[in-house]
Amino acid sequence: MEQLHTVIIIGFFAVIGGAQNPMSPAPLQSPSYLISVPRVLRSGVPTTVSITILAKSSVLVISEIMQGNNSLGRAQTTVEGGSTKLQVLPPIPENDSSYWYPYKLIVNGYIGQTLVFSNSTMLQYSPRSVSILLQTDKPKYKPGQAVKIRALVITPDGKPCDKQIDIIIMDPRENLIRQWLAVDTLLGETANEFQLSQNPPLGTWKIIATVNEVTQEKIFTVSHYVLPKFEVLLDTPDVLYCEENLTYTVTAQYLYGKPVAGKMSVVYVHGFHGITSSHEDWKMIDGKAELSFDVPSLFHKKKSADYMSPFYEEFDTSDYIDINVQVTELLTGVTYNSSARVSVVMYKYNLEFQQHPFTIKPSLKFSAQLKLSTYNRRPLTAEDQSRSVTLTVNQEHLTPWMLEWENSANFKTRNSSHLEFIASTFIYPNGNISVKSLQLTVPADGVIPFQIELSENVAMLTIEVMRDKCDS
């Protein structure tokens, strides 16, 4: 190690004689203290200051390395009169500012509260002789996991160099838990593995690697994975009929089941025929809360706002309401959120023709079933059953000059409530259409059989069932 010590202080100080005259120093005497320090400050290496007090009194010596107005390390030692002591200042980490701003060592000596000497010197900065790169495979570990440690020793110009390295591991209480001393490196590199026990101290652990006098630290944390503190659950229907209010339940509870008291902010996003609009609400919650959102008035507003246009007809299967609930716990301000999408349907009942033939024959009976079910697949209530269903049957007749009946009719369902049979692709309406209305009652299972007498020259049959729609 280079021993280029520079004597920076050979001062004179007065020994304070007594209480009567504390502020007036005695006449100058022989040098009373001698302080030396290496001229060069080496990055990553502790700085050692040697202090000799030649006078009889003990002196409290405080040394500090400064860069501009920043203190980078400080040490204080009481040195007895007539003795020499070494003071070790912590190593200075290397960073960009190391090259730009000068370092200064300031040494002050006190007897009691009185400053008896003060001096300072600039220190030259020298980059480290070697640098150590320390890595772990992860920043966080769980008990029982293995910590994989890699160390690489490189010269200031970035080349790996083979030196012996010491590696130690300290737990959060700074207990030395494991050490590998004087480990040989291969191409500057060494790899070690440290197995955490099943029940290690939790917190911030430290790996310290040392090569010559250069040290490098790396921290890692050991914790049980932190799970969300509480969860927000929404119990909503997945389908809603547009004449009903959206009622649902929010549950906020800690993972161990205790209810959370807090404030809920709710944002509803209504997607309607491809257009969205937002509505906000809030409510307090204590574990559980019931909420309701007035959907019918939303639709009535839309209607009055002249939202309706035939163009929108096409989109009505994709209407929805997104619910976003954010619960903020009162005590901690911790926030968790949850969201759900509810489809909005325009019809309370689904109607479907079943068991119908795919061709029709003039003069025969046409039998089929109409299946009525609720939009949310719940069984039919007495009220549902009390409604009657009206079928409108149109038979368009062959004109005398039309093509022959083709035997296999062209069958279409344009939507679930509309059945259509066309006997021929060449139909010229002759205005002779018989329209019949059938009133059907709804049985408990919703399956409604019906029959139609086909006329002898039917060319086109359409059967339609009337339904009520929210917005029309």
Ligand X SMILES: *[C@@H]1O[C@H](CO)[C@@H](O)[C@H](O)[C@H]1NC(C)=O
Judged by the rule CB under 6 A, the positions of this chain that interact with ligand X are 8-11, 68-70, 72, 93, 95-97, 118-119, 244-245, 292, 294, 296, 324, 326, 337, 339, 397, 414-415, 417-418, 432, 455, 457
Q: Are the CB atoms for 129 and 91 separated by under 8 Å?
A: no
User: Based on CB atoms, which residue is closest to ligand X, 287 or 296?
Assistant: 296
Smallest gap from residue 202 Cβ to ligand X (A): 26
CA angle 1, 186, 205 (to 5 degrees): 75
Smallest gap from residue 324 Cβ to ligand X (A): 3
The encoded tokens of residue 377 equal 């697949």
User: Based on CB atoms, which residue is closest to ligand X, 37 or 151?
Assistant: 37
Smallest gap from residue 174 Cβ to ligand X (A): 21
Q: Give the Cα separation of 6 and 66 in Å (integer).
A: 18
User: Based on CB atoms, which residue is closest to ligand X, 11 or 25?
Assistant: 11
- Establish how many alpha carbons lie within 13 A of residue 421's alpha carbon, considering only the half-sphere containing its beta carbon: 23
User: Based on CB atoms, which residue is closest to ligand X, 429 or 449?
Assistant: 429
Smallest gap from residue 84 Cβ to ligand X (A): 17
The encoded tokens of residue 277 equal 């609009």
User: Based on CB atoms, which residue is closest to ligand X, 129 or 335?
Assistant: 335
Smallest gap from residue 464 Cβ to ligand X (A): 7
What is the number of other CB atoms lying within 10 angstroms of the CB of residue 262? 24
User: How far apart, in Å, are the Cα atoms of 333 and each of 148, 191, 256, 339?
Assistant: 37, 44, 19, 19
User: Based on CB atoms, which residue is closest to ligand X, 166 or 420?
Assistant: 420
Contacts of residue 44, defined as CB under 8 A and 6 or more positions apart, other chains included, come to 91, 92, 93, 94, 128, 131, 213, 214, 215, 216
Helix, strand, or coil (residue 384): helix
Q: Are the CB atoms for 95 and 13 separated by under 8 Å?
A: no
User: Based on CB atoms, which residue is closest to ligand X, 66 or 211?
Assistant: 66
Residues 351, 356, 362, 365, CA torsion sign: negative
* 270, containing H or E segment: strand 261-272
Smallest gap from residue 293 Cβ to ligand X (A): 8
User: Based on CB atoms, which residue is closest to ligand X, 58 or 416?
Assistant: 416
The amino acid present at 468, given as its one-letter code, is D
Q: Give the Cα separation of 190 and 210 in Å (integer).
A: 13
User: Based on CB atoms, which residue is closest to ligand X, 103 or 194?
Assistant: 103
User: How far apart, in Å, are the Cα atoms of 120 and each of 11, 70, 103?
Assistant: 12, 15, 10
**Which residues on adjacent β-strands are paired with residue 325?**
266, 338
The encoded tokens of residue 108 equal 């002050």
The amino acid present at 288, given as its one-letter code, is K
Smallest gap from residue 277 Cβ to ligand X (A): 16
The encoded tokens of residue 416 equal 């679930």
User: How far apart, in Å, are the Cα atoms of 468 and each of 6, 191, 389, 404?
Assistant: 100, 75, 11, 39
Smallest gap from residue 226 Cβ to ligand X (A): 15
Tokens 């100058």 appear where? 28
Smallest gap from residue 192 Cβ to ligand X (A): 28
User: Based on CB atoms, which residue is closest to ligand X, 28 or 181?
Assistant: 28
Smallest gap from residue 44 Cβ to ligand X (A): 12
Helix, strand, or coil (residue 316): helix
